[in-house]
Amino acid sequence: MPRRAWLGWISTLLYLPLLYGLGWLTVQPVAATGLLGGWRADQIALLGTGLSFLLLLLTLPLRLDRAWGERRPWRALGVAMGWGVGLRSLLRGLLKALLLLVFVAGLLLISGQARWNGGLTWAQVVNAVLLILGVGFAEELVFRGWLWGELRQRLGGGAQADQRALIGQAAIFSLAHTRFNLGFAPMAGLLVGLLLLGLALGLQRRADGGSLWGAVGLHGGLVGGWFSLLAGPLQISPTVPLWLAGPGGADPNPIGGLLGWAGLAALLWVRRRFW
């Protein structure tokens, strides 16, 4: 591999870790002075992550200009493609997230593995919206926006490179989110489920003509919706089988179980023409 290509791969590998490190290094001296008062360690870490994401937003235009030769970075990332396109994509993604949640929760209720306790409070609704927009946008900008495009550039461009980059971003997404301290079976379940989710999110962006907002709606809707269900309305039996609902007992992650796999596989089948 030419030296310039190696340097390109190194810059790709180091870009996000360097931003995260800068965010962490910025927060630690402030925390050491006591200016953050009684903040817990997890709150300080969250502040560092927020600063890292702010650095990402500030540096992405320069990164895309230098590494991709892209003069319209936010359009290339699928963010700025017009309000109409973005809103329609977001609503389609949210609808798919709702259908997947109804599928998983419905089968748990029908099988007797869960019980319905009532509706959501306004606080839970607001929290769900914040998760949809916060987690959904941040992670999709990184994985289906920057990372997918970065891999496509490094692999040479073209349809074949785009296909390999689609699989690559899904694999990295899976590895980045899997908990490796759960034991082999739960870990393997999460790896497979997250890989399917990464592929589904990538195909969602393709189906939306490059708009990132459909993937934001699908990803954020699943995270915010499931968290809100577990926070109140849906009480899951602590003895629910791991293979069915995923690891976590009474607070399972369905991505790692048969229900999550089946829902995501159905979504991939619906999107099969966008492979």
Contact call for residues 232 and 123 (beta carbons, < 8 A)? no
pLDDT in tens, 17-73: 999 999 888 888 877 777 776 778 778 888 889 999 999 999 999 999 999 999 999
pLDDT in tens, 234-247: 999 999 999 999 99
pLDDT in tens, 109-156: 999 999 998 777 888 888 888 888 899 999 999 999 999 999 999 998
118-148 burial, b at 16+ Cβ within 10 Å, e below that, comes to eeeeeebeebbeebbeebbbbbbbbbbbbbb
Torsion sign over Cα 95, 104, 109, 249 = negative
Looking at residue 42, the DSSP 8-state letter turns out to be H
pLDDT for the residue numbered 131:
86
pTM of this structure: 0.93
Residue 115 phi/psi, 5° resolution? -135, 140
Residue 120 phi/psi, 5° resolution? -95, 150
User: Is pLDDT above 90 for 6?
Assistant: no
User: Is pLDDT above 70 for 1?
Assistant: no
Looking at the DSSP bridge assignments, the partners of residue 116 are 234
